[in-house]
Structure 1
Amino acid sequence: MPRATGAGAATPRVVLFHGEERFLVEQKARELVDAGAKDLVSDFGLEPIEGASLQAARLRDSILQAPFIDPYRAIWVKGVPAARAESLAPALAEVPPTTKVVITVIGRLTSANKLVKAVAAAGGRTDESQRLKGRALNDWTANRAEEIGLTRQIGAQVSRVTHPDLGVVESELQKLAAYKASGSKLTQEAVNDLLAGAREDEIFRLTDNLLPHPSAQAWSVARNLVRSGIQPTSVAYRMARHLALVLEVRAKQERGESLSAIQGEMAEHSFVVQKAFESARTADPDQLEASLNAIRDYEFEVKSGQVDAELGLEVLLTKL
């Protein structure tokens, strides 16, 4: 946690990370926590807290607790939904000199947000990570590829074929780096085979044509995905993930939550959530549940050898 960042300059006792680029938000927080943890002498000095359902009173108790044998206590609050961020503001009313606090928020906060104001009032710092696009995304990917032993050319290819989300990009780069580290030769053919993102657009076209019932395009895309080498059960899994997302968004809509609030709460890319939000408006929750049950039945039948995976997928599409 907070360490000196320059001559006479110390990191504030409270640091808030937020923004649309969740990967960078978490990365910056982790780097700050890891750097500060070097000053701690026991396992009791650092307290990670999940922020999904965290209450202000619980956070306040942790902040006010005195250190045991460490020079200070470090509180790391992870993944606070943007819609719930303001509720934690009262916890920062008093931050002792012996407590350091790092908070990460899923989503972007405005300067008018009560938590942002509370951080400022406590003498803290707020850091926003904007979503990387275009050249900024390409440069980040190329630089990251070099950092882990790949070439900038491979980084450029990952940028071209992978969903523009740093978490996905990092996963694809790490996959390629691990393949290279195993001693295997990273040929162009190997890169093409390893990059799951190369077919991400087709996956999206499939899920975008599932509701209210699978269209002719959904059938065509599903067949092409299987012919390209993706297992039929993997295609079914992606369909289930999408339907489950729409069902979850529908439940949030019924509670009166806005699109921006839902996007702030969920880990999926904001555009994916937006598409699910649009589908959820006219979706029948009972039909969604029935479709999810049909997919579960299909997966069981394939695993138990009752049906052929590819033929079973075609039958499954008729049931959705």
Structure 2
Amino acid sequence: MIYLLHGEEEFLVSEALAQLKAGFGSGDMLDLNTIRFEGGSVGFAEFEAAVCTIPFLADCRLVLVDGLLASLQRRAAHRGDGDEGEGDGDGSETAGGRADGGWEKLGDLLTRLPDTTQLVFIEGAINARATAAKAVMQAADVRRFDKLKGPPLADWVRKRAVEHACKLSGGALPLLVNLAGNDLRLLDSELQKLTLYANGASVDEAAVRALVPLSAETAIFGLVDAFVERQLTPAQRELHRLLNNGAAPPYLLFMLARQVRLVLAAADLLSERLPQSEMGPRLGLAGFPLTKTIEQAQRTNVPTLIAMLNRLLEADVQMKTGKLDAVLAVELLVTELCIASRARAGR
């Protein structure tokens, strides 16, 4: 049997892999008959030998391959052609290295695997139109795991809370998602922490606020809120909390610029009187980030947003040229944006 587990949600991919492995058995004999390859370093001949080998004193042989399709696609892009498989070697070359012949025979190989072979391709985002990807998708049980957002994310958290026996009450669930973002691994960890803290009791909003750290994305919303509301002290507090949690100034600058651009785009869509249901796909947002971005667009104006972007660009130049220390540059940026917003509001 052949499986393709792929998608941007690495946590769901890893869980799907664990469930597959559990279904194949456990113990020393499965370990003995399991081999795992990094797609960028395995040669076709080595791969072919592994998937065609009969298991030793076991029902199946498990072959796991990480990132092979992505590696073949990178090589094709580097060569500037669309064929991921052709090469000049004898099939012993790697998918991600020097020469890489033999992989053009991947599709044929997948049609003649022994029934005892369980082959699992593990990938991130892939180009489904690429030659190797097409061959694998045609032969495999394909399972795709996209990033969760909006209602599907809330449903996942709700189900996960039940699995951990974590009783989320009232607004605790949406607050948890707003604070932790859509990082499923982080959300799972926070649910486990809340379960231990509650010790069988319900988890309310106060417990979530006390135990769950603010995600960088949520803190960026707070900073832009402070700019719009001309609140210098909250802005400085959010900035220092981010810096103390290890956020790098260039990253903060990038995230701030991204959010201001989204608010500017939302303001443009609001001027066209588009409903929120149509704005989401246009902005690439859903759930809390979409609602928050629209709310910020309604509370400011286009000239203010353009002025913010110009000041963000100036801070970026100051950092990259070394004119100002990175932390000082972002501190001055936050102060000046709040003061400038205040001045424009007073006109």
TM category (shorter chain) comes to: 0.5 to 0.7
Q: Could you report, residue by residue, the CA deviation over 1:175-210 in whole angstroms, capped at 9, with x for unpaired residues?
A: 3234345x898554232121213664224776x9xx
Q: Return the match for 1:158 from 135, 153, 176.
A: 176
CA 131–44 in structure 1, closer or farther in 2 if over 3 Å, else same: same
Give the aligned partner of residue 70 of structure 1: 58
Deviation at 1:84, TM superposition (A): 4.0
Q: Return the match for 1:233 from 205, 229, 244.
A: 244
Q: Secondary structure at the match of 2:182?
A: coil
CA 140–120 in structure 1, closer or farther in 2 if over 3 Å, else same: closer
Rounded Cα–Cα distance in structure 2 between residues aligned with 1:241 and 1:99: 48
Percent sequence identity over aligned pairs: 23
Give the aligned partner of residue 169 of structure 1: 187
Give the aligned partner of residue 260 of structure 1: none
Give the aligned partner of residue 131 of structure 1: 147
Q: Secondary structure at the match of 2:4?
A: strand
CA 191–80 in structure 1, closer or farther in 2 if over 3 Å, else same: farther
CA 136–314 in structure 1, closer or farther in 2 if over 3 Å, else same: same
Give the aligned partner of residue 134 of structure 2: 117
CA 314–289 in structure 1, closer or farther in 2 if over 3 Å, else same: closer
Rounded Cα–Cα distance in structure 2 between residues aligned with 1:191 and 1:19: 30
CA 288–146 in structure 1, closer or farther in 2 if over 3 Å, else same: farther
CA 47–285 in structure 1, closer or farther in 2 if over 3 Å, else same: farther
Rounded Cα–Cα distance in structure 1 between residues aligned with 2:318 and 2:329: 20
Using structure 2 for the length normalisation, give the TM-score.
Answer: 0.54
Moved over 6 A (4+): 219-222, 243-246, 281-286
Rounded Cα–Cα distance in structure 2 between residues aligned with 1:316 and 1:109: 38
CA 186–284 in structure 1, closer or farther in 2 if over 3 Å, else same: closer
Give 5+ residue unaligned stretches, structure 2. 77-83, 85-94, 96-102, 225-229, 256-283, 286-312, 334-347
Q: Secondary structure at the match of 1:155?
A: helix
Q: How does 1:1-320 map to 2 (within 5 A)?
A: 13-38=1-26, 41-51=29-39, 53-57=40-44, 58-79=46-67, 82=70, 84=72, 87=84, 90=104, 91=106, 93-95=108-110, 96-97=113-114, 98-110=116-128, 112-121=129-138, 123-153=139-169, 154-180=172-198, 186=203, 188-197=205-214, 200-203=217-220, 223-225=236-238, 230=241, 232-234=243-245, 237-239=246-248, 242=251, 317=331
1:170 partner letter: D
CA 244–189 in structure 1, closer or farther in 2 if over 3 Å, else same: closer
CA 286–316 in structure 1, closer or farther in 2 if over 3 Å, else same: closer
CA 30–286 in structure 1, closer or farther in 2 if over 3 Å, else same: farther
CA 109–245 in structure 1, closer or farther in 2 if over 3 Å, else same: farther
CA 42–34 in structure 1, closer or farther in 2 if over 3 Å, else same: closer
Give the aligned partner of residue 257 of structure 1: none
Rounded Cα–Cα distance in structure 2 between residues aligned with 1:158 and 1:224: 21
Q: Could you report, residue by residue, the CA deviation over 1:144-179 in whole angstroms, capped at 9, with x for unpaired residues?
A: 111111124343432343313433332322332343
Rounded Cα–Cα distance in structure 1 between residues aligned with 2:253 and 2:117: 40
Rounded Cα–Cα distance in structure 1 between residues aligned with 2:122 and 2:254: 23
CA 225–285 in structure 1, closer or farther in 2 if over 3 Å, else same: closer
Deviation at 1:29, TM superposition (A): 1.9
1:124 partner letter: A
2:237 partner letter: N
CA 231–203 in structure 1, closer or farther in 2 if over 3 Å, else same: closer
Q: How many pairs are equivalent?
A: 247
Q: Secondary structure at the match of 1:23?
A: helix
Decide whether the 8 Å contact of 1:33 with 1:76 is kept in 2: no
Max Rg structure: 2
Rounded Cα–Cα distance in structure 2 between residues aligned with 1:42 and 1:232: 46
2:156 partner letter: W
Rounded Cα–Cα distance in structure 1 between residues aligned with 2:207 and 2:41: 45
Q: Secondary structure at the match of 2:24?
A: helix
Decide whether the 8 Å contact of 2:35 with 2:62 is kept in 1: yes
Q: Could you report, residue by residue, the CA deviation over 1:296-318 in whole angstroms, capped at 9, with x for unpaired residues?
A: xxxxxxxxxxxxxxxxx659857
Give 5+ residue unaligned stretches, structure 1. 1-12, 209-216, 247-269, 272-280, 296-312
Rounded Cα–Cα distance in structure 1 between residues aligned with 2:133 and 2:244: 45
